[in-house]
Amino acid sequence: MNRRDLLKLGTLATAVTATSVFAASGTKEDIKSVQNAVKPLNNNDRVIIIGGGYAGLTVAKNIRLYNQKAEVIVIEAKNIFASCPYSNLWFGGVKGVDYNDLIFSPLKPASTYDYDIINDKVVSINREKKVVTTLNGSFEYSLLVLSTGIEYDYSTFGLDEKEAKKAFTKFPASYNGGFEQLSLKEKIEKFKSGTFVITVPKGSYRCPPAPYERAAVIADYFKSKKLNAKVVIIDPREKPTTKAKGFLKAFDTLYKDYLEYIPNANIKKIDLDKKTIYFEKNNLKEMETTNETLVFDDANIIPSNKASKLLKDSGLELTSDGFGRVKTPTFRSYNDDNIYLVGDVVGEYPFPKSAQMAHSCGIIVGEQIARRLNKEDPKEGSVYPQNVCYSLVSQDTGIYVTHQAYFDKADGKVKVKTEFFEDIEKSTFDATKSWYAGITANIFE
Ligand SMILES: Cc1cc2nc3c(=O)[nH]c(=O)nc-3n(C[C@H](O)[C@H](O)[C@H](O)COP(=O)(O)OP(=O)(O)OC[C@H]3O[C@@H](n4cnc5c(N)ncnc54)[C@H](O)[C@@H]3O)c2cc1C
């Protein structure tokens, strides 16, 4: 065991000890005194990465590829990495896909690439003092990376805080990895007949094709079991957010009796006890709006998405849709040069919120941070990320889309060139498996 491995154990042990103090006495003073024990910089740069998801772990590895000196610490609230990509395949019962396929341990790459990972939750950022505070302690930083993914916002479905908790518990979104996924899988497997609703979030959200892909594979599962059951997708948009042609074709041709797509449906309220959705249906042809209700037997309520509260609380600029604003064409916060934003938390650029995009941006940002620490030109704005996003429309066929980001000199904006591949093909299913194996190997091996 080398010095850094010992240090890793040391930091984990500190976290455990502090948790015990917290649990044993639990007074605010106790918590404060633990949190006030700031771990100072020791004549070295320290990069703190908040969030060890697809973006954060990629940044950690890529800093290390170009800089071996700085201390790199990932702080992650969950104690397991459970992937959202590939989860729809598991929900839909795709042959050969197991829950284990979604689970990874970041300790292996932490050891290979020599970064520290701490299982803790960041509760505040003091930008003036350059200190982050977790439930168990505080850390000074030289540079900070926020890769905190998404939080749910149920208010756009007319649910108050208490109702939001109930919706989360009874009808989990499963738009984050972990126990929500286990509950959704159980719901699908236990469903015997009736209406299973999936709500598409309002506004900008993680993985635009995911609700439609999920609907298609669940419908396929119901069909394969010959259930008297139907998936109903309720969408505020006129058509699916992405790959609309391919999804609508699949819905029409493959799942006529098993799937119903309701577009232009603006959810105003959900009665969680009566299992009823109240929505406004915009009939664009007749230019009229009608008030409708939909009663369901079970549901996967996917609410709107927003950035972590940490951003707002620490005074970082947000975009109008509630995500992090960055300084074009960089990944630095609009109002703090020492803070980088990577992954789904970013609102400025028209990038789809995907693991592939988070990974591609993480590679770029990791190198930029390393170059900055090395006192070299970070070459910001010289490379732009790419994305490919596969969606299954049945147990073994799919469609896909690619994105290439670029800087448009004419108006100084970062834009995205999109290409759709919407013929329903078996080869896309094979490509999905290869893509997933590739990205997870890159991050976890
Ligand atoms: C059903 C579904 C299917 C998908 N399929 C695909 C796909 O096929 N291809 C694709 O490219 N993308 C897909 N995605 C999208 C992909 O999951 C996300 O875009 C990706 O996870 C974004 O990475 P991230 O690092 O920004 O966020 P995350 O991976 O969510 O990581 C954020 C991490 O930050 C941690 N965190 C948050 N706040 C704190 C805090 N205060 N302290 C400590 N830790 C904190 C969280 O616990 C979390 O682990 C899918 C998403 C869903 C929901």
pLDDT tens sequence across 351-395: 999 999 999 999 999 999 999 999 999 999 999 999 999 999 999
List of domains in the chain: 3-149+307-382 (3.50.50.60), 154-305 (3.50.50.60)
Residue 34: pLDDT band (50, 70, 90) is low
Tokens 């071996």, residue? 68
Segment 223-231 shows an average pLDDT of 97
How far is ligand 1, taken at its centre, from the CA of residue 174, in Å?
11
Q: Which residue has a Cα nearest atom 2 of ligand 1? A: 84
Asked whether residue 6 carries a pLDDT value surpassing 80, the answer given is no
Rounded Cα gap, residues 272 and 295, in angstroms = 10
The answer to whether the beta carbons of residues 340 and 185 sit under 8 Å apart is no
Say what percent of the chain tops pLDDT 70: 92
Asked whether residue 9 carries a pLDDT value surpassing 70, the answer given is no
Q: Which residues pair with 131 in a beta bridge?
A: 126, 140
The answer to whether the beta carbons of residues 251 and 220 sit under 8 Å apart is no
Asked whether residue 1 carries a pLDDT value surpassing 90, the answer given is no
Q: Which atom of ligand 1 is nearest to the CA of 55?
A: 25
Q: Report pLDDT for 31.
A: 61
Rounded Cα gap, residues 322 and 344, in angstroms = 11
Is the distance from the beta carbon of residue 352 to the nearest atom of ligand 1 less than 6 Å? no
Give the H/E segment covering residue 179.
helix 179-190
Segment 277-299 shows an average pLDDT of 93
How distant, in Å, are the alpha carbons of 97, 255, 296, 317, 410 from that of 88? 10, 17, 21, 33, 40
Is the distance from the beta carbon of residue 300 to the nearest atom of ligand 1 less than 6 Å? no
Q: Which residue has a Cα nearest atom 15 of ligand 1? A: 354
Is the distance from the beta carbon of residue 358 to the nearest atom of ligand 1 less than 6 Å? yes
Rounded Cα gap, residues 18 and 12, in angstroms = 10
Segment 225-248 shows an average pLDDT of 98
Residue 349: pLDDT band (50, 70, 90) is very high
Residue 275: pLDDT band (50, 70, 90) is very high
At residue 161, what are phi and psi to the nearest 5 degrees?
-60, -45
Is the distance from the beta carbon of residue 324 to the nearest atom of ligand 1 less than 6 Å? no
Asked whether residue 236 carries a pLDDT value surpassing 90, the answer given is yes
Beta strands in 154-216 (DSSP E): 193-199
- Phi-psi category of residue 77: left, alpha or beta, with phi > 0 → left and psi -120 to 50 → alpha: alpha
pLDDT tens sequence across 59-74: 999 999 999 999 999 9
Residue 285: pLDDT band (50, 70, 90) is confident
Helix axes 210-224, 244-254, angle to 10 degrees: 10
Tokens 């850390």, residue? 139
How far is ligand 1, taken at its centre, from the CA of residue 145, in Å?
15
pLDDT tens sequence across 411-429: 999 999 999 999 999 999 9
Report, in this order, helix, strand and coil percent for the chain, each rounded to 5. 35, 30, 35
Residue 16: pLDDT band (50, 70, 90) is very low
How distant, in Å, are the alpha carbons of 326, 377, 381, 387, 409 from that of 414? 11, 21, 9, 15, 9
**Vertex 43 angle, CA 139 and 12, to 5°:** 40
Is the distance from the beta carbon of residue 316 to the nearest atom of ligand 1 less than 6 Å? no
Q: 132-167 burial, b for 16+ CB within 10 Å, e for fewer?
A: bbbbbbbbbbbbbbbbbbbbbbbebbebeeebbebb
How distant, in Å, are the alpha carbons of 13, 178, 392, 424, 432 from that of 26? 19, 27, 48, 56, 47
Q: Report pLDDT for 18.
A: 33
Asked whether residue 25 carries a pLDDT value surpassing 70, the answer given is no
The answer to whether the beta carbons of residues 78 and 173 sit under 8 Å apart is no
DSSP-derived 3-state class of residue 266: strand
Asked whether residue 24 carries a pLDDT value surpassing 50, the answer given is no
Residue 35: pLDDT band (50, 70, 90) is low
- Phi-psi category of residue 9: left, alpha or beta, with phi > 0 → left and psi -120 to 50 → alpha: alpha
Q: Report pLDDT for 20.
A: 32
pLDDT tens sequence across 148-200: 999 999 999 999 999 999 999 999 999 999 999 999 999 999 999 999 999 99
Candidate from 148, 212, 359, 443 with most ligand 1 atoms within 8 A of CB, to mutate = 148
Rounded Cα gap, residues 386 and 372, in angstroms = 23
Q: Report pLDDT for 283.
A: 86
Q: Report pLDDT for 284.
A: 78
Candidate from 304, 344, 389 with most ligand 1 atoms within 8 A of CB, to mutate = 344
Asked whether residue 306 carries a pLDDT value surpassing 90, the answer given is yes
| Pairing state between β 298-300 and 193-199 | parallel
pLDDT tens sequence across 78-104: 999 999 999 999 999 999 999 999 999
- Please confirm whether the linkage preceding 106 is cis (ω < 30° from 0): no
The lowest-confidence range among 41-45, 133-137, 198-202, 418-422 is 41-45
What average pLDDT does the structure give for the chain? 92
